[in-house]
Structure 1
Amino acid sequence: MCFELFKPLVKVLRLVDGDWRPSMGFVYGELKDAKKEIIKLCKDTKEIYEPIIQIIDSRAKDRLDSPLHLAGYLLNPYYYYRDDEAQKDPACMTAILTCVEAFFPDNFHVQHLVSNIELLKYKGMEGMFGKKLAKMGRMTNNDTFDVGK
């Protein structure tokens, strides 16, 4: 039971400790998935999983929860379109706005375009986000996915 319980976490550790470095959105998403899997393996018994999740969260705090990590997670179509939590998480939306303000500090026109137009297209799978290649990216958990291939 113990080995099975930590198997999802070992997967994440191997992912970040390899020669190839995944993007922040994948690391954050895989860690979220690992925590969900641990809870499931504990049969939703809070007394068992809560101390484990608290340790994971304490180690990730201020390392894997920056606005850039959260924005990368939200903008990763594999996680966004399959996870209702990502779509409704106010912390993720705040992170997007924080990043947009940081990337375009004095360009309110671009901030508006990204935050109020392009992000809505992304959420609604409109325009380029509704194309066949974009849909393939939603189904593929692969940080090296290349729409050109």
Structure 2
Amino acid sequence: MADLKFNLQTMVTSKEWEGCPYSQTSEGSAMLDVLSNHTFWSSCIMITRLTNPLLRILRIVGSQKEAAIGYVFGGMYRAKETIKRELVKKEEYMAYWNIMDYRWQKLWDLPLHAAGFYLNPKFFYSIKGEMHKVIMSKMLDCIEKLVPDLKVQDEISKEINLYKNAVGDLGRNLAIRARDTLLPAEWWSTYGCGFPNMACFAVRILCQTCSLIQCKENQIPFDQLHKTRNSLEHERLSDFVFVRYNLQLRQMVHKNKEHEYVDPISFDNTSIVEDWVTETEMYPEDNENTDWKALDPPFYNSRLLELSVDEAEDLGSGFDDNEIFFNGLQVVKEEGRI
């Protein structure tokens, strides 16, 4: 609405509006007063500035284009950073932060998001000094949880230090430039060959999705899976669910490659009717004859992130304000709301 300010004000001051019967009603007069009120438009602009970063996070989480696990943590940081910059006074921006922190811990505060942030080279190398201890701790939680082999855990721990110092191919000028252009999983797949354990772990994390937006509930028999008591039938249905889910992900990749690539993080690329129109997707009919063992392994989208200059600067200018992530959450805990 803020973008339509000039058009709306032009409309209610035009001769056509003056000749319209609605302009003579009390509602029409009230609308004229509102559209002519400077305070109203200032409030609209402020609301837009405060909510756009939050909408960006929702865009990241619900992205139908790319795995978003490497961007959610950074998106949350940027949202709180914007709110702090706009409101300035701590008592004002903390009111918003407390709500965000409450929802974050309740729904999204998972080690995977911190690990995705840590393994995203665009974010990792933009931090001055040491990584915050909370992020590092959650990164280690993921290693211990997802890597059962103790020897591999030890190797990853060694390779983490090499990652910090950008040793080997990670420090090439080509790799440095690619931090801002390649998707995180592609970056590791391309330049992490000298660190096989770390690269494998990173790709596994960074390829995770954050939403089931592409998975139709009536296409995956979860209810049927939980109702059966026969162990063999349960195993067969588990395989079936696995295959159906991965087939849908694969079809999503094929469909996305047929259309122009749109950066999932850029709010400017959002269609105003996107949430109202959905396409009918095709799924394989012969589910029983699907040979899941013969499926090709998943592949990555080789296209680059086409960020605008403003978007790139906004997402990669540093993450050095520890208050943004952790002080607000502490205040919520002290108030007894969590």
Q: TM-score surpassing 0.5?
A: yes
The corresponding residue for 1:52 is: 96
Whether 1:66 aligns to 2:110 is: yes
Whether 1:100 aligns to 2:143 is: yes
What amino acid maps onto 1:24 in structure 2? I
Secondary structure of 1:60's counterpart equals helix
Give the Cα–Cα distance (whole angstroms) in 1 for the partners of residues 49 and 139 of structure 2: 35
The 3 A distance-change label for structure 1 pair 104 and 143 is closer
Question: Relative contact order, CA 8 A, sep 6+: which one is greater?
Answer: 2
- Which segments of structure 1 move beyond 6 Å, counting only runs of 4 or more? none
The corresponding residue for 1:118 is: 159
What does 1:21-40 align with in structure 2 at a 5 Å threshold? 21-40=66-85
CA contact under 8 A between 1:74 and 1:80: conserved in structure 2? yes
Give the Cα–Cα distance (whole angstroms) in 2 for the partners of residues 7 and 97 of structure 1: 32
Deviation at 1:136, TM superposition (A): 2.4
Deviation at 1:17, TM superposition (A): 3.1
The 3 A distance-change label for structure 1 pair 140 and 112 is same
**Cα deviations across residues 26-55 of structure 1 (Å, max 9, x unaligned)?**
111111111111111112x11111011111
Give the Cα–Cα distance (whole angstroms) in 1 for the partners of residues 98 and 182 of structure 2: 26
Whichever structure has more helix as a proportion of its residues is 1
What amino acid maps onto 2:153 in structure 1? Q
The 3 A distance-change label for structure 1 pair 144 and 120 is closer
The corresponding residue for 2:123 is: 79
Q: TM-score, normalised by structure 1?
A: 0.82
What amino acid maps onto 1:122 in structure 2? Y
Alignment partner of 1:138 out of 171, 179, 197: 179
The 3 A distance-change label for structure 1 pair 139 and 96 is same
For structure 1, the residue ranges without an aligned partner over 5 or more in a row are: none
Deviation at 1:143, TM superposition (A): 5.8
The 3 A distance-change label for structure 1 pair 137 and 23 is farther
The 3 A distance-change label for structure 1 pair 104 and 142 is closer
Deviation at 1:109, TM superposition (A): 1.8
Alignment RMSD, CA only? 2.4
The 3 A distance-change label for structure 1 pair 88 and 110 is same
Whether 1:15 aligns to 2:60 is: yes
Secondary structure of 2:108's counterpart equals coil
For structure 2, the residue ranges without an aligned partner over 5 or more in a row are: 1-45, 191-301, 304-338
Sequence identity percentage: 32
The 3 A distance-change label for structure 1 pair 13 and 143 is farther
Q: TM-score, normalised by structure 2?
A: 0.39
**Cα deviations across residues 97-127 of structure 1 (Å, max 9, x unaligned)?**
111112222x222111101x21011111111
Q: How many residues align?
A: 145
What amino acid maps onto 2:118 in structure 1? L
CA contact under 8 A between 1:23 and 1:143: conserved in structure 2? no
CA contact under 8 A between 1:68 and 1:99: conserved in structure 2? yes
What amino acid maps onto 2:139 in structure 1? I
Give the Cα–Cα distance (whole angstroms) in 2 for the partners of residues 63 and 133 of structure 1: 37
